[in-house]
Amino acid sequence: LAPRFQPEGDIVARLDVSVLQTTVLEPLLGIGDPRKDMRIDFVGGMRGLAELERLVREGGFAVAFSLYPTSIEELIAVADNGGLMPPKSTWFEPKLRSGLVIHRIERTAGGK
């Protein structure tokens, strides 16, 4: 995609994962719902580009896409606007142990 490409719409539409979905996966590959389509898989975490290259080279996959991770700022902007993050767009590392951190969220009189 050209660096000047500016998708229209809300913050979710501007996320890299959404741009891939709306410009490549759905129109070119016919993948409407990446959560249900058996032709797509996700390689998460710190496995890197070498793992993607290996999977394609060994014939397990025809093509691989690597995206910049969703930033904390993008995640906060989506949450602040009441949006939902696209599938597989919220992989963060290092992972905290489950139950290690608990933060109570309460609304104040002002609604925030």
Per-domain residue ranges of the chain: 1-112
Q: How many residues does the chain have?
A: 112
- DSSP 3-state percent helix, strand, coil across the chain (nearest 5): 35, 0, 65
Alpha carbon distances (Å) from 5 to 55, 68, 111: 29, 16, 36
Q: State pLDDT tens for residues 69-98.
A: 888 899 999 999 999 999 878 777 777 676
Distance from C-alpha of 20 to C-alpha of 66, rounded to nearest angstrom: 10
Query: 3-class SS at 15?
Result: coil
Of the two residues 77 and 100, the one the predictor is more confident about is: 77
19-33, 44-58, 66-80, 87-101: segment of lowest average pLDDT: 87-101
Count the Cβ atoms, other than its own, within 10 Å of residue 24.
14
